[in-house]
Structure formats: structure tokens, C-alpha cells
Structure 1
Amino acid sequence: MIGYRLFVFLSLFLGIESYTTAQQTQLHTNLLNGYDRRIRPGSGASKTDILAGFHLSTLKEFSESEGKIAMVGAISFMWVDTRLSWDPTLYGNDLTSTYLFVKDIWTPKMVNMNPYAAIKAIGADEMLCQINNAGEILLIMPDLFESTCDADVTYYPFDEQKCSLKYYIPGYSSDDVNIVPSDSSFDMSIYEANGLWDIKNTIVSEETKSVKTLVLTVQMTRRTTYYIAGLLLPIVLMNFIQVLVFIIPVESGERVGYCITVLLAIAVFLTMIQDKLPESSEPNVSLLTYKLLVDMFIGCGMILAVVIGLTFYFKAEDKQITGCLRGFTRCCYVGCSKKHSKQTIVTVVPEKNDQEWLPEALTWRDVGKAFDRFCLALFFLSLILNNSIYLIAILSV
């Protein structure tokens, strides 16, 4: 209140000049009288230089399956139109800036070159431009910027994406309009962080072909905490739970059902991932998809091994065991015994004649147990190898 009273006192007694609404109205009338918004600023021989920048507010969406990126922000333009300059002394001596609607003056109508939906110009005619007495114009156009962006999901969910939005002014060639970035990167002062993507770098550049193009590039990496806890760890745990099928007692009758249940769970995860990823083979298919496919093959192999093992357990004892199965069983038993101690070998296999003990005492149940031991080791190593290869491929990024 004290500051306001001081301002009124100085204005009345010291003669401070201030423009009136009538003067501003007259200025607008004088500026737009005879003004043709269809003609760009400058002479025909010179280019219209436009400074352009981008202010990012939020990263609204990035859809890998649809190949779409959407950002909320604003593009700012600055250029000079000498037709809109004036002498401030004619309008209260302090009318140095004013505002005009976009529909009343020439403005750069920028269009997306790679739109996701319908092609349309940025902004609206009811927006305001700030103009100073030298004819310098500032236009800030907020909008939802949507564009196509092909995702590279090779290392999903540890992927990094790079998207470029390209804008040009239809009707003007590179000899007519010159678009110059006001800054080499986005203005991030009003940016609100995205929960899924972390923006690492932004670039504002221009390309010159037949027309001048403003290129807005954003590089981002996926936040992986959710995917590690909700996707990768359950898959790895299911892998090693599945191999426990060879430890389940045969008498329970649950081996085949257990194996199929875990295999179906892996298939569900594979379906979930395929729903999130684009239906394309370029640039590459996700390594996680290949890993899950190998897990599926290993799971199918486990089911086949369980069925074969059950045939050994329930085969009639009067059927003769072939020499190959006898040798296979002896290798499995002796190999496992050596891992514990030499004394176990002495108690299980008589020293006098190793070759004569197994043919006389061996049963089909022993063959089944030996087959289970072999499959447990084989598939456990296969799963370790598959997960290790995927981990090395991811860490090599």
C-alpha cells in the first residue's frame, strides 16, 4: 500500500508519463492498418531469421508397441517484423511493448513432419504475441507434441530410446525462412520427472534440405526397478523352481502336472512381454524374448524327460535292462558317489568285481533314479547357461 501511494504521488507531482488505453488502441490500429499477414517479414531478397527453442513440461507417453512419443511443452519463436515497429514518444513515451493475436499478424505456422495422428499446425490463432517497439516478436506456443518413434527394444527392459520430432513451415523454402535454434538443448526449468523414463539428453538442431527443419531430439533410459522386481526376478525364480521336478517323489504323481504348471507361467510372462513390444523384427527382437523362448524349450525338454523317467520307474521288473542303461546307471551312481567320499564307493560297489555287482542288483527303479540325477544336472546347467548369456549380453551395453 505504501509503495502504491508513493507511485501515485510521484506520478502526480513529478509528472511521470504513462500511456493510456486509448493510445494502445491507436497503436494497434496504426500497426494493423494496411498490414498483410500473408506476406512474410523482410524483403524478397533476404531470409526471415527465426530463433526457435523448446520448453519441455512433461513426457506424457512413450509406447513401444505403438511407436509413439508424446510430450507436453511449448515452442518459442523470435523474429523481427519491421512493419510492426513504432516510435514510443508518440504513444505516451513508455509504450514500448504490446500484444497482438496470432490471427492478426504473420507468424511461422509449423507442422510436424512425422506426426502420429492427423497433420496440424502448432498452436491456435487466439494466442498472443509479445511485440516491442523495434518490431521484435516473441511467440510461445504450448501444445501436446505427438510423433512417431520406432523403439529399439533389443535390451528391453534395460533399453535406451532416442526420438526426434521434426517441424517445418509449409510453403517456404530454405531460401525464404532460416530457422536457428536459440539453444542447443531443451529448457528443462519446468520439467516434471516421468516415473518410467529418465531423460538423459536433449538436442535442438536444424536440418537444411529443400526446407528448413527444426529437429527436437530426446534421449532417455528406462527406469528398471519395477521390471527387475516384477518381471526378471520371478522369471529366474521360476526357472530354478522348475528344475526341482526331478526331486519330487515319483509316488506323489505330481511330476508332470508340476512341470506343466511352471511352463504355463513362463508362457504367461512371454505373452505379457510380447504385448508391450512392437510387432516388428527391426532393428532387433528383444533379447528377453529369446531368453524366454529358450526357457520354453528347456521346459518342454523337462516334460519329455519326466515322461521318459516315469517309464523307467514303472517298467516291469521282468524286462531285461540293456547294457547301455546299465553303463549309464553305473556312471551316474559312481559319479555321484565320488563327489562325496571314496568310502561310499567301497560300500556301494564291492572292490572285488565292480562289473558283476550292477548287472545282478540293478533294477528299473535304479535306472529311473540315475536318469533323474542326470536330468537334474543337465537342466540345471542349461538354465544357468541361459541366464548367464542373457546377463552378459545386458551388461555389455
Structure 2
Amino acid sequence: MDIFPLLITVLSSIVVEATTIEKSKLLLQDLFQNYSKDIRPVEDQSKPITVNIDLDIVSINDFDDVAGTISMVVILYISWNDESLVWNSTSFGNTTSLTFPQSKLWIPEMFLCNPADSLQPISNKHFKVSLSSNGDVTWTPGALLTATCTPNVYRYPFDQQTCQLQLSPWGYSSQQVKLKIPSSTILFNYFHMNSEWDVKASLTYLWSGSFDIAEFFITIERRHMNFLVSVVIPVIMLAFVNLFVFLLPFNSGERASYSITVLLAFTVYMTVVSDRMPASSQPMSYISYYLLSLVGISVVIVTVNIFQIRTYSKHDEDEPVPEWVRTLYLYTQNIFRRKKVNTSERLHRPDGSDSKTNNGLDNNHILDVDSSKRNHDLFYTSILPMSQGQEKPTTDNVPMIPDHQPEVVTWHMAAKIVDTLLFFLFFSFTIATTVSYFICANVN
């Protein structure tokens, strides 16, 4: 029973002094009574003061491919120890920390060493500092930084860009201010996603020389779906639509205007892409080479189409088909029919050939008669082959084709077969060019 009154007496004798505004005012006045913010806050002025710095990116506002700049909202976490601002917290009502404007003490003003506009300190008078009783100072300025960043658009729009922010306490050598980066990566504590770019990686690096530079690297990847849907896929569609000019009838009168219209559409898309690309020649984007290839193919198609129209408009009576054109036509026809027939056998038919029909014509000589030329072109009509049970006529009963009489080939027929060949040729070129672009653009 005697212990309880004794315990109450001891506890009541303990007086806990609380922090008051008067104590804080007295502390602040005492700290800065003989303080100079123009002198580095280290007792031994021959030694450097160590400044810790970390970067926290809040948002990526813009990356300008053409200007080669990146704009970001950042927060800097800067801390150091001020040996002139140390106090005993128990002497000032257990006051362990103070917060006041940064203008009252020495701060290591940081400058962006690769700015896109002007060289200005990353701070203003509105930011606060936090001071602990052991002299540790924490300063967290924020800023909108616009830095230079040379774009690498080789793989545009599947590209990645690596940009850096170079921060340094301008005016202080490494013997006066020593930088230290506690974190190996950039911080993203308050990061807001960007609609055009994704953050893939980050890295920090400290460059030491006559003065220290803290370098912060960030790798961003473009969200390519918008450009893919609005530019790349329409260009691919135009590239394949361009080929169908060879399937239009010659007498439609639309072949030349069709091919020229597609060529103009390619030039419009080249303008759209060039507006988003840097003005320099290095680097050049693969999509620029891809569009240039498609424009080249389109120019060749327009040129070839003009000659095709000219060929189709020729009259056989005024300008006979040359022998080499007729031979090439027959050879091409054999390839399409998948029959290995020698052209010479078609010109000089041997006696006793069992491949003749009952009218003396080879089944391989079946011709497609153009409906628009039936009244003035001469063609051989095909006859159905004999049935197996029918007796084969003798050679004496089969009318022979004279050796000097060739199969009829007109300019119209030659133009049509060339159209088929050109369609498959340019189709192959377009496929190869498109596949090559996607392979090059997606290879890391």
C-alpha cells in the first residue's frame, strides 16, 4: 500500500516540456543569428560537402521528335548536412525539426546542363526546406524540365527513345560539392501515365571530373497503335490496291487516272510522315524508305501502264506483231497451262502426231477469242478431241497445217498476257517490301 503513493509522486514530478511556438521562434532566431548562406555549411572549408540527389518523375508531358526535346515534370530529393544548424532539442522544448523557406539558408542550386531553352536554376523562392536537429537538410524542389534528346527514329513508329537529364551544382567544383546518387534508378512515386509513351527502363550515373554531374537516363517506348492504324495500314492497303490497275479492262479508260490517283495518295502520306520526322538526314526512318519504295513502285506502274495502253491500241494490220513477241507469248501461255510444249512443235506440226484432233488442230492451240475483236481478228476454233472408242483417222484424211502458217497472236493478246505477268511481278515486290519493313522495324 505504501508503494502506490510513492509511484504517483514520482510520476507527477516528471515534467514533459512540449514544443511551443515561442520555443520554435527562439530556436530559429538562435540558429540564424550568425549564419551566412553564402558560405558552404562545413566546418573544414577545405573539405567538400556531400549532397545526395534523387530524381522522381511525375509525368512526361511531351517528346518532340522534330525538335528533339523532351518535357517532364520532376521532383528532386536533395539532402545534405549543415554543420552550422545543429541544436539540442531538449533545450528548445523537444523541437526536433523545423520547416522554413529555402531563402534562409545555403542550398546547392541545381542546373539542368542540357536544357532545350535557357540555363536556369531548378528552384524558386516558394519551395521549403526541412531541417533536423542533427543538421540534416532535406530540400524537395519541383520543376518542369525541357531537355534536349536526340531522337532515334530508325524503327518509327516501333521506336524506343533514351533521354537523359544532366544535373549539376553550377559554380561548385568537385572539391567543394560532392554529389551522391543513393538510388540506382529514377523514382516514379507519383508518376502519371502518358498517352503516347510507356516507360521501359531507367538508370542513374554519376560523372565525376572537375565538377560532378548527376545523369538520369530514361528509356521510353512509343505507343504505336495510333500511327499504325492511321498511317501504316492505309499505306499497305494502297500498295495492294495499286496492283489492281492491271486487272482493269483497257477500253474502260480509267487505267491511267487510277494509277496516278494512287501515286498522289502515296505522296500525301509521305508528307504526313515527314512532318513527324526530324529534319536531319541522320537517322532516317525505315518507314521513310518503305514509303519511298512504294512510291517508286507506283511510278513504275504508271509508266508501264502507259506503254500497255499504247500496245493495246496498236492495229495488227498497220504494225504486225514481231516474231519475238509471238514466241514469248506462246512460251508464257505454255507456262500458265503447265504443259511443256515446245514452241517449234506448235509452228511445224509433224506427221502422225497422236495429239491432233479430228480437224487437224492440236488441243494446245485453243485460243480465247476476244469478244471485241471477233469481227476482224482471225482465230482457229477448237474442236473436242476424239473419244477413245473412235477409230483414229489416217494421216491421209487429216488436213495438215502448212509449215509457214503460224498461230495468230495479236497485240491485244500480248497486252493481256503482259498485264498478268506484271500483276504477279509487282505483287511479289510489294509483299517483299512490306515484309522487309516490318522485319527491320521490329528487330531490336
Give the TM-score of the pair, scaled to structure 2.
0.81
Aligned AA for 2:22?
A: A
CA distance in 2 between counterparts of 1:355 and 1:158 reads 65
CA distance in 2 between partners of 1:317 and 1:380 (Å): 31
Q: 2:120 aligns to what?
A: 120
Do structure 1's residue 386 and structure 2's residue 405 form an aligned pair?
no
Aligned match of 1:295: 294
The number of residue pairs the alignment matches comes to 383
Could you tell me which residue of structure 2 aligns to residue 7 of structure 1? none
2: distance between equivalents of 1:294 and 1:182?
A: 50
Q: Which residue of 2 aligns with 1:51?
A: 52
Letter in 2 for 1:271: T
> CA separation of 1:250/1:41 partners in 2, compared to 1, >3 Å: closer, same or farther?
same
Instruction: Please list, as runs of the form range in 1=range in 2, the aligned pairs for 1:307-346 lying within 5 A after superposition.
Output: 307-318=306-317, 319-338=319-338, 345=364
Structure label with greater radius of gyration: 2
Shift of 1:133: 0.5
Partners of 1:331 and 1:275 lie apart in 2 by: 49
Q: Is the 8 A contact 1:54 1:204 kept in 2?
A: no
Instruction: Give the residue type in structure 2 aligned to 1:382.
Output: F
SS at 1:211 equivalent: coil
**TM-fit CA distance, 1:356:** 6.6
Q: CA contact under 8 A between 2:154 and 2:441: conserved in structure 1? A: no
In terms of mean alpha carbon deviation, does 13-22 or 191-200 score higher? Answer: 13-22
Tell me the percent identity.
25
Q: CA separation in 1, counterparts of 2:180 and 2:401?
A: 92
After superposition, the Cα gap between the structure-2 partners of 1:356 and 1:243, relative to the gap in structure 1 and judged at 3 Å, is farther
Structure 1 356/293 Cα, relative in aligned 2: closer, same or farther at 3 Å?
Answer: farther
Query: Which amino acid in the other structure matches residue 80 of structure 1?
Result: N
Instruction: Write out per-residue CA displacement over residues 153-186 of structure 1, whole angstroms, 9 at most, x where no aligned residue.
Output: 1111111110111011121111111110121112
Q: Does 1:377 align with 2:376?
A: no
- Pair 1:103–1:312, CA change in 2 (3 A): same
Return 41-50 or 225-234, whichever deviates more.
225-234
Aligned residues of 1:53 and 1:204 also touching (Cα < 8 A):
no
Cα distance in 1 between the residues matched to 2:363 and 2:276: 54
8 Å Cα contact 2:69-2:149 kept in structure 1: yes
Contact map agreement 2:180 2:206 (CA 8 A) in 1:
yes
Distance 1:74 1:337, change over 3 A: same
Q: Which runs of 5+ in 2 are unaligned?
A: 1-11, 342-354, 356-361, 368-379, 386-399
Letter in 2 for 1:50: V
Pick the aligned partner of 1:347 from 352, 356, 366.
Answer: 366
Q: CA deviation at 1:353?
A: 7.5
| Unmatched tracts of structure 1, length 5 or more | 1-11
1:164 aligns with 164
Alpha-carbon separation, structure 2, partners of 1:48 and 1:183:
19
For 2:363 and 2:308, the matched residues in 1 are separated by 25
Query: Root-mean-square deviation (CA), in Å?
Result: 2.5
Q: Kindly report which structure 2 residues correspond to 1:1-397, keeping only aligned pairs within 5 A, or say none.
A: 15-42=15-42, 43-92=44-93, 94-282=94-282, 284-318=283-317, 319-338=319-338, 345=364, 347-348=366-367, 359-397=406-444
User: 2:151 is matched by which residue type in structure 1?
Assistant: A
Spell out, residue by residue over 1:66-109, the C-alpha distance to the aligned partner (whole angstroms, 9 max, x if none).
100111120110100011111112211x2100012111111011
Distance 2:189 2:331 in 1: 70
Amino acid across the alignment from 1:347:
I
Q: For residues 123 and 170 of structure 1, what CA distance do their matches in structure 2 show?
A: 13
